[in-house]
């Protein structure tokens, strides 16, 4: 635990001062409607194919899947305590870009010792938060070279991620229950397009041609939802790892064990390629002597 240096009490991340009520009172044998899981979504990069940043040729969509009990009893309190420790209040929004650029509420991170301390705590929060990660990396440069109508990178990634999400929830025996997927609000035109595409996919018109029991919910950033902030923190490290896989990436190292993977939790950190982490378009297999695709 951090030492207090004249700043008042510091709050341990994953401890509770009072016992947590384990069960809510039930109203008879009321039939369940909602699943045990909630999903928070964020992205990294621009989904437009018209403007491709040569320094970041990607669009990344990340879904963080939380068990509601762990999310409400452990994750939210841990993030709140982190905010109280460093800002004195919990209205600040953890935003990856602001943290990385050390601006606005995070200008204090320009001081190296303070930055290292803060990042250690933030890494601990992410590492100890038990969520399952489903992500799709769309290589826009390669996608734009494909023949035919390749579609909107966001919509392509959304279909892939929702299909994987259904596979995951089926393993948890939750496929017959409604799961809410929380997405950050956007412009009116984008909002309408995304809602229509989401409903189209869930209506059985996605790549797997199956009905998906998901409900989209749009939330303003100002609502300060913990799940959206964590999704924002994980999306870019996934993209950076794809662009520069040989570069040290502590954030991605933490995330590897969280990806949805084949073979269950015993394969955590190993069996996630093309399961919880999908690259689009997929790299084609090469014959001997054929040059690697750029």
Closest C-alpha among 154, 155, 175 to residue 165: 175
Domain count, the chain: 1
* Other residues' Cβ atoms within 10 Å of the Cβ of residue 136: 26
Give the pLDDT confidence of 155-205 residue by residue, as tens digits. 999 999 999 999 999 999 999 999 999 999 888 888 899 999 999 999 999
Question: Is residue 6 over pLDDT 80?
Answer: no
Structure tokens at 174: 């939750």
Q: What mean pLDDT value characterizes the chain? A: 87
pLDDT tops 90 at residue 62:
yes
The single residue listed with the structure tokens 């009893």 is 73
Relative orientation angle of helices 226-243 and 112-128, to the nearest 10 degrees = 100
- CA–CA gap between residue 173 and residue 78 (Å, rounded): 28
The answer as to whether 23 is a domain residue is: no
Residue written as tokens 């059985």? 204
- Report the C-alpha gap between 290 and 229 in whole angstroms: 43
- Per the CB < 8 A criterion, the answer to whether 131 and 65 are in contact is yes
Residue 88 per-residue DSSP state:
S
294 belongs to a structural domain: no
**Between 28 and 237, whose confidence is greater?**
237
Residue 20: inside a domain, yes or no? no
pLDDT of 106: 98
CATH of the domain at 43: 3.30.420
User: Can you tell me the distance from the alpha carbon of 280 to that of 136, in angstroms, rounded to the nearest whole number?
Assistant: 7
Q: Which domain holds residue 65?
A: 34-70+132-280
Does a structural domain hold residue 104? no
Distance (Å, rounded) from C-alpha 52 to C-alpha 121?
34
Instruction: Identify which has the larger pLDDT, 154 or 270.
Output: 154
**Model confidence over 9-21: pLDDT tens digits?**
566 766 655 554 4
Q: Is residue 209 part of a domain?
A: yes
Is 170 part of any domain? yes
Instruction: Identify whether 5 is part of a domain.
Output: no
Can you tell me the mean pLDDT for 29-50? 87
SS3 content of the chain, % helix, strand, coil (to 5): 40, 15, 40
The residue ranking higher by pLDDT, 115 or 26, is 115
Domain presence at residue 172: yes
Express each pLDDT in 207-235 by its tens digit.
999 999 999 999 998 899 999 999 999 99
């Amino acid at each position: 635990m951090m030492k207090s240096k004249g700043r008042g009490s510091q709050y341990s991340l994953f401890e509770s001062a009072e016992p947590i009520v384990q069960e809510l009172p039930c109203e008879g044998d009321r039939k369940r409607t909602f699943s045990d899981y909630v999903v928070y979504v964020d992205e990294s990069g621009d989904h437009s194919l018209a403007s491709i940043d040569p320094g970041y040729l990607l669009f990344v969509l990340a879904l963080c899947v939380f068990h509601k009990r762990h999310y409400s009893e452990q994750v939210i309190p841990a993030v709140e305590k982190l905010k109280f420790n460093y800002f004195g209040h919990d209205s600040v929004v953890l935003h990856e870009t602001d943290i990385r650029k050390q601006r606005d509420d995070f200008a204090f991170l320009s001081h190296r010792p303070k930055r290292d301390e803060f990042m250690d705590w933030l890494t601990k929060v992410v590492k100890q938060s038990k969520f399952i990660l489903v992500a799709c990396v769309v290589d826009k440069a390669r996608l734009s070279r494909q023949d035919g109508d390749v579609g909107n990178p966001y919509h392509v990634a959304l279909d892939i991620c929702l299909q994987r999400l259904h596979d995951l929830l089926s393993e948890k025996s939750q496929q017959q229950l409604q799961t809410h997927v929380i997405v950050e609000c956007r412009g009116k035109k984008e909002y309408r397009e995304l809602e229509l595409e989401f409903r189209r996919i869930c209506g059985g018109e996605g790549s797997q041609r199956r009905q998906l029991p998901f409900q989209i919910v749009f939330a303003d950033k100002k609502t300060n939802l913990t799940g959206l902030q964590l999704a924002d923190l994980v999306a870019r490290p996934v993209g950076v790892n794809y662009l520069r896989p040989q570069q040290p990436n502590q954030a991605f190292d933490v995330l590897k064990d969280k990806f949805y993977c084949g073979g269950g939790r015993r394969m955590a950190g190993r069996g996630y390629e093309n399961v919880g982490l999908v690259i689009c378009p997929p790299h084609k297999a090469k014959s001997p002597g054929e040059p690697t695709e750029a």
